[in-house]
Amino acid sequence: MSVLIKGGRIVTSADDYVADVFVDGERVSLIGESLDLDADRVIDATGKYVLPGCVDPHTHLDMPFGGTVTIDDVESGQTAAAFGGTTCHVDFCIQGKGQSFADALSDWHAKAEGKQLIDMGYHIAVTDLSFDGALEELASLPERGVTSYKLFMAYKGALQVDDETLFKAMEVAAGSGALVMVHAENGDAIDVLVKKALAEGHTEPHWHALTRPPETEGEATNRAIQLARVAGCPLYVVHVSCREAVEPIAAARAKGWDVWGETCTQYLFVDYTFLERPSFEGAKYVYTPPPRDKANQEVLWDAVRTDVLSAISTDHCAFRWDTQKSLGRDDFSKIPNGGPGLENRLQMIHHFGVREGRITLNRMVELLATSPAKLFGLYPRKGTLAIGSDADIVVFDPEKRVTITSSDQHSKVDYNLYEGTEVVGTPETVLLRGQVLVTGGDLVGTPGIGQYVARARFGGELTRAGQPVAA
Ligand code: URP
Ligand code: ZN
Ligand code: ZN
């Protein structure tokens, strides 16, 4: 199968020019002016942007959490992703307490079996290093293409690890070439604040934010940075939400330390007041870290513009409002933590970031595709449009007006964080490795076409033939 995409404006993190793209099989074969080639399918991209498929480095599909399971499995979550222009993501495989990493990974691979519409890899979420051989097994995971270790510094009694476990994982990563990711909040302090609030009779959703003040995120971010420095491993701080966490990341990066951070779409748009919406509607915005005071949004836009933060993910962790968020109707601490967003990241960042002049088009591609691909060992196979790269391509209509609403979305969740928001610009056609996945509002790809991607070690590259090469 060959595809010729004609006359589009090709935008990568570095370039912006009008040309044709010829795809032969799964990869980009040629890029040039007025290519005169026969193809099985010709796509007229005049007036459109031709972008690399977006890469989402932070999702939770089919994940048990908060007494329930995230509502989007691999098929529905990846369908939402495909409509949103995301063609590759890295999901979290959670190690059960005492479980070997191999068993955890086979559980997660089984969940994806036959359901994949886009390509995906896994981070391993480490919850227990206390069994014999745990450190050695963790060290061996990069050989299987699992090249990032995630540790939760919060969610006491569930996913939280102590500093000993965090530091041991960091030491392993320093030797194995993995990137350490942290959910940075001080879970012990938060646990005290939650218990106190409940004892005082505070049960409503906004207490989720009042018991997780920004200082608890700032403290944990700084602690993780300092520990990573001692261990000598690279560090990536997920879902940065506030100034208190941005500042230590900025300071570390200014010193040239191997520290990176991401924020998520929702922190740029949803603020604390959403949690105060009446009739339990605030529960829709219970995710962690919580929505912050609005002033943080300009701090985050500045940070993504200046590369203090290097990626924007979704942290898609969707729970239905009617049947799942309702677990916490009488107790905010029982509301499953997480929000949806896989389908709307590109639309929202394009409209409010690029169209409103906060970031350039090149920077948008860098934040949503190129940097995540580089940081997580997928580049240059993913994250750019170049000869030999996977033909993961978004033909994006920059002028189409769309009103975001849950009734049009492809996730199984029953609300949208950006309900009623009008955006200009949306994906029109999405290709995965040369196959049309979505076009004109229809899903054309079938489950099973997506693949697991073994990623390269931190700083290494994934060759265009898909072989990880050492850093
Ligand atoms: O509330 C959130 N973010 N849920 C997903 C798990 C996590 O902390 O990333
Ligand atoms: Zn987290
Ligand atoms: Zn998450």
Residues 378-427 have pLDDT tens digits of: 999 999 999 999 999 999 999 999 999 999 999 999 999 999 999 999 99
* Omega prior to 380 cis, within 30 of 0: yes
With contact defined as beta carbons under 8 Å apart, do 376 and 387 qualify? no
Cα(314) to centroid(ligand 3), Å: 8
Ligand having the closest approach to the CA of 209: 1
pLDDT of amino acid 463: 72
Cα(5) to centroid of ligand 1, in Å?
A: 38
Residue with CA nearest ligand 1 atom 6 = 338
Mean pLDDT of 3-13: 98
Nearest ligand atom owner, CA of 318: 1
Q: What angle do CA 187, 216, 366 make, to 5 degrees?
A: 100
Ligand 1: residue whose CA is nearest its atom 3? 288
Q: Is the pLDDT of residue 467 over 70?
A: no
Residues contacting ligand 1 via CB (< 6 Å): 60, 183, 239, 287-288, 315, 317, 337-338
CA 455 to chain centre: 16
Nearest Cα to Cα of residue 398 among 375, 423, 381, 418:
423
pLDDT for res 368 = 99
Q: Which of 62, 63, 239 to mutate to test the pocket of ligand 1 (most atoms within 8 A of CB)?
A: 239
Return the closest-CA partner of residue 427 out of 360, 348, 354: 348
Mean pLDDT of 141-170: 98
Q: Which band of pLDDT confidence, cut at 50, 70 and 90, is reported for residue 471?
A: low
Ligand 1 atom at minimal distance to the Cα of residue 58: 9
Report the chain's C-alpha Rg in angstroms: 21
- Two tokens at 81? 């992703």
Q: Which among 279, 278, 281 has a CA at the least distance from the CA of 406?
A: 281
* Ligand 1 atom index nearest CA of 155: 8
How many Cα atoms are found within 13 Å in the side-chain-facing hemisphere of 121?
30
212 C-alpha to ligand 1 centroid (Å): 13
CA of 252 to the centre of ligand 2 (A): 21
Q: What is the separation, in whole angstroms, between the first and last Cα of the chain?
A: 34
Is residue 359 over pLDDT 60? yes
**0.85 surpassed by pTM:** yes
